[in-house]
Amino acid sequence: MKLFRHLVASVFTVALSLLLLGASGDRARFNDLGHRMMCVCGCNQILLECNHVGCTYSDRMREQLAAATQKESNDENILQTFIKEYGTTVLAAPTMRGFDKVAWIMPFAVFLSGALLAIVLIRNWKARQAAHAGPRGAAETLDRYREQARRETSL
């Protein structure tokens, strides 16, 4: 009888721990997916962080997400379901497929192009300034122009 109680207690403990582990796994998936999606009410906030009182979308989307994480085993299928219903604006970040790669690449490309353009412009300005100064230097050139201005303006 004592062995039977220990066996039942062990089975109950294992079942309870598996149930709790599965629930925490669903909660982690819910948090992960909820932070990968945007609320579509126009607030431009992450779905789980939308704080509008009476928002007509966030509560419904959270309920759909909770149900989907319990039913669906693949995160990509859940995201595709939301994209079909709400459009691509539901994604917080562009995907890494197809034309969406441009959204990841362009900021870096524009930054590097701008930095290179700035370097080239600064070098050209310095070279132009050195060419106008001449071999004698800026102070001598300025003195020459002052003397020329005095001669041309004297009566």
Residue with tokens 């959204």: 103
Instruction: Give the number of C-alpha atoms closer than 13 A to the C-alpha of residue 148, restricted to the C-beta side.
Output: 6
Q: What is the pLDDT of residue 122?
A: 95
Angle at 77 between CA 76 and CA 78, to 5 degrees: 90
Instruction: Give the residues across from 38 on adjacent strands.
Output: 46
Predicted pLDDT of residue 110 = 96
Buried b / exposed e over 74-112, threshold 16 CB at 10 Å, is: eeeebbeebeeebeeebbeeeeeeeeeeeeeeeeeeeee
Locate 81 and state its tokens: 């379901």
Task: List 91's β-bridge partners, or say none.
Answer: 37
pLDDT at 11: 39
pLDDT of residue 106: 92
Alpha carbon distance 92, 124 (integer Å): 42
The residue behind tokens 């050209």 is 124
Q: Which of 62, 63, 66 is nearest to 38 (CA)?
A: 62
CATH number of 1-93: 1.10.8
Per-10-residue mean pLDDT of the chain, 155 residues long, equals 47 39 67 88 84 82 89 85 86 78 89 97 88 67 89 83
